[in-house]
C-alpha cells in the first residue's frame, strides 16, 4: 500500500460496553488521542441493558463517537457485528473496555497491517499493568485447543506437558524480546487491528453462534484457512487489564466459556486431531504430587528473594494454570522480585502459580510459588463486563 493510499485509510474502532462505562470512556479517549494514518471513527455498542449505564455513556461520550444501545445483551460478537455491518472502510480495531492504546500504537499497527497484503490481523505488544512490567502471554495455539482437558489430566509435571511448557516459554521470551513483527497462530479479539477486506473474504466478522469467548479464535482460523498471516507488532504497545470483567460473576463466565469451547470444537474438530488425542491418552501422568510441600503460598502482595546466580537477569512468570501455559511474564534484575499491591488488585479471585528462573537455558532450575486471591478481596469497582444472557 503506497503513501497516497495510507492518507485515505479509514479505520473503525469498536468497543462493546457491558456495565463498565468508566473504563469504556478511557478506552475511547485513548483511541481519539492516537496518531493515525487516515481517519478514525469510534463506535460504542452498549449491551448493559441498564438505563443509567446508557445515560452515562450518552452524557460523557464525545459527539463524534457513535453509540448504539441494545435493549438486551445479545453477546459480544453480536455487538461487534452491528458496528461492522455499518462500516465500509479499510481497518477494524477491536478493543475491550479495559484496554487502552499507548502513544504511537494505532499508527504502527496500521503500517504493519497494510504493508503486506498477506497479513490480515495485527496486535500490539500488550502489558498487563500501568508500569508496563508484566507482558501478557502469547495467545493459546489453536492446534492445542482440542487437547486442553486431556493435557490438564496428565498433570503439569508429565513429560508431554513439560515439553510443551518448555517450547511455550522459549517462544514467549522470543516474542517479549522481539523488535520485529512476530508471526503467531492466534490473536485475541480483546485488542487487534483487522483488514476489513480479509475479514469479508473469510466470511464476515463473528459467528453469532458464539455468545462470548472463542468468537475471535473462530475468526482467526477462518482467516488463516484463507492463507492470511497474523502478527504481533512489538513497536506498537498497549495495556490490557486482563479479566477485570465481572469478577463477581465468575461461575457465569466459566459456563459461557465452556459453552463456546464446545461449540468451537464441534465446528472445527477434525479426524486427525481425534486420532492425535487418542495417542496422547497413552502418555502416563506424573508419578508424584502436582504441588510440592515446599512451594510457598501467598495471600497478599509479595516479594521473592532472587538467588545470587539469577540477579543479573531473571524472568518471573505466573498463570492460573499449573503448567504455566499461557503465562504472564516479567523480566528483571537484582535481588528482589516484587508483585505489588497495584497488580494484586488486578487479579480475579482464584489460585495462581508462579515461577522464577533464568532467561536462557534448558535445564534452568525454578523457584516455584503459588498465590491465592480470595473472593472477599474483590471490591465493587467499575469493571468491564460482557457476560449474562438476558
Q: What is the average pLDDT value for the chain, to the nearest integer?
A: 86
Report whether the peptide linkage leading into residue 326 is cis, meaning its omega lies within 30 degrees of zero. yes
Q: Write out the three cell numbers for 371.
A: 498465590
pLDDT classification of 364: cutoffs 50, 70, 90 = low
Could you report the per-residue pLDDT of 31-56, keeping only the tens digit for each?
999 999 999 999 999 999 999 999 99
pLDDT at res. 281: 57
Q: What is the DSSP string of 345-367?
A: TTPPSEEEEEEEEESS-SS---E
CATH of 297-376, one of 2.40.480, 1.10.3470, 2.40.50, 2.60.40: 2.60.40
| pLDDT of residue 384 exceeding 50 | no
Q: What is the mean pLDDT of residues 188-196?
A: 97
pLDDT at res. 360: 80
| pLDDT of residue 27 exceeding 80 | yes
The enclosing H or E element of 255 equals helix 250-268
Look-up of cell digits 475511547: 28
pLDDT at res. 188: 94
pLDDT at res. 210: 95
Q: Write out the three cell numbers for 155.
A: 498433570
pLDDT classification of 257: cutoffs 50, 70, 90 = confident
Look-up of cell digits 502478527: 231
The enclosing H or E element of 277 equals helix 271-280
Q: What is the DSSP string of 21-71?
A: HHHHHHHHHHHHTS--SSEEEEEEEE----HHHHHHHHHHS-TTSEEEE-S
Could you report the per-residue pLDDT of 262-277, keeping only the tens digit for each?
898 888 876 555 555 5
Domain 3-139+185-250 class in CATH: alpha beta
| pLDDT of residue 180 exceeding 80 | yes
Q: What is the mean pLDDT of residues 234-246?
A: 85
Could you report the per-residue pLDDT of 68-87, keeping only the tens digit for each?
999 999 999 999 999 999 99
Could you report the per-residue pLDDT of 117-167, keeping only the tens digit for each?
999 999 999 999 999 999 999 887 776 656 665 556 556 566 666 778 888
| pLDDT of residue 5 exceeding 80 | no
Alpha carbon of 386 to those of 45, 48, 65: distances in Å? Answer: 11, 8, 20
Nearest to 317 by CA among 175, 135, 132: 135
pLDDT classification of 7: cutoffs 50, 70, 90 = low
Q: Give the start-to-end residue ranges of the domains of the chain.
A: 3-139+185-250, 297-376
pLDDT at res. 236: 98
Amino acid at each position: 500500500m503506497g503513501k497516497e493510499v495510507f492518507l485515505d485509510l479509514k479505520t473503525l474502532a469498536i468497543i462493546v460496553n457491558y456495565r463498565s462505562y468508566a473504563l469504556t470512556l478511557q478506552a475511547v479517549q485513548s483511541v481519539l488521542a492516537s496518531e493515525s494514518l487516515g481517519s478514525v471513527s469510534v463506535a460504542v455498542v452498549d449491551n448493559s441493558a441498564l438505563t443509567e449505564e446508557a445515560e452515562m455513556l450518552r452524557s460523557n461520550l464525545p459527539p463524534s463517537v457513535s453509540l448504539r444501545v441494545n435493549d438486551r445483551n445479545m453477546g459480544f460478537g453480536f455487538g461487534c457485528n452491528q458496528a461492522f455491518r455499518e462500516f465500509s472502510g479499510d481497518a477494524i480495531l477491536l478493543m475491550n473496555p479495559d484496554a487502552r492504546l499507548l502513544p504511537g500504537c494505532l499508527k504502527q499497527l496500521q503500517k504493519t497491517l497494510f504493508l503486506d497484503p498477506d497479513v490480515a490481523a495485527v496486535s500490539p505488544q500488550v502489558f498487563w499493568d500501568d508500569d508496563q512490567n508484566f507482558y501478557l502471554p502469547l495467545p493459546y495455539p489453536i492446534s492445542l485447543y482440542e487437547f486442553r482437558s486431556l493435557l490438564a489430566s496428565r498433570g503439569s509435571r508429565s513429560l508431554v506437558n513439560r515439553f510443551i511448557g518448555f517450547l511455550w516459554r522459549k517462544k514467549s521470551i522470543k516474542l517479549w524480546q522481539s523488535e520485529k513483527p512476530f508471526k503467531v497462530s492466534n490473536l485475541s479479539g480483546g485488542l487487534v487491528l483487522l483488514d476489513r477486506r480479509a475479514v469479508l473474504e473469510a466470511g464476515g466478522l463473528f459467528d453469532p453462534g458464539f455468545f462470548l469467548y472463542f468468537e475471535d479464535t473462530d475468526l482467526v482460523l477462518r482467516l488463516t484457512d484463507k492463507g492470511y498471516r497474523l502478527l504481533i507488532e512489538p513497536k506498537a504497545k498497549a495495556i490490557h487489564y486482563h479479566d477485570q470483567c465481572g469478577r463477581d460473576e465468575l461461575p457465569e463466565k466459566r459456563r459461557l466459556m465452556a459453552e463456546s469451547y464446545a461449540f468451537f470444537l464441534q465446528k472445527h474438530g477434525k479426524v486427525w486431531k481425534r486420532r492425535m488425542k487418542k495417542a496422547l491418552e497413552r502418555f502416563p501422568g506424573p508419578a508424584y504430587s502436582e504441588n510440592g510441600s515446599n512451594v510457598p503460598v501467598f495471600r497478599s502482595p509479595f516479594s521473592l528473594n532472587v538467588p545470587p546466580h539469577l540477579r543479573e537477569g531473571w524472568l518471573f512468570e505466573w498463570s492460573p494454570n499449573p503448567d504455566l501455559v499461557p503465562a504472564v511474564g516479567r523480566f528483571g534484575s537484582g535481588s528482589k522480585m516484587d508483585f505489588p499491591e497495584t497488580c494484586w488488585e488486578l487479579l480475579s479471585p482464584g489460585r495462581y502459580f508462579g515461577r522464577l528462573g533464568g532467561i536462557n537455558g534448558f535445564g534452568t532450575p525454578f523457584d516455584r510459588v503459588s498465590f491465592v486471591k480470595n473472593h472477599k478481596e474483590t471490591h465493587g469497582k467499575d469493571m468491564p463486563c460482557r457476560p449474562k444472557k438476558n
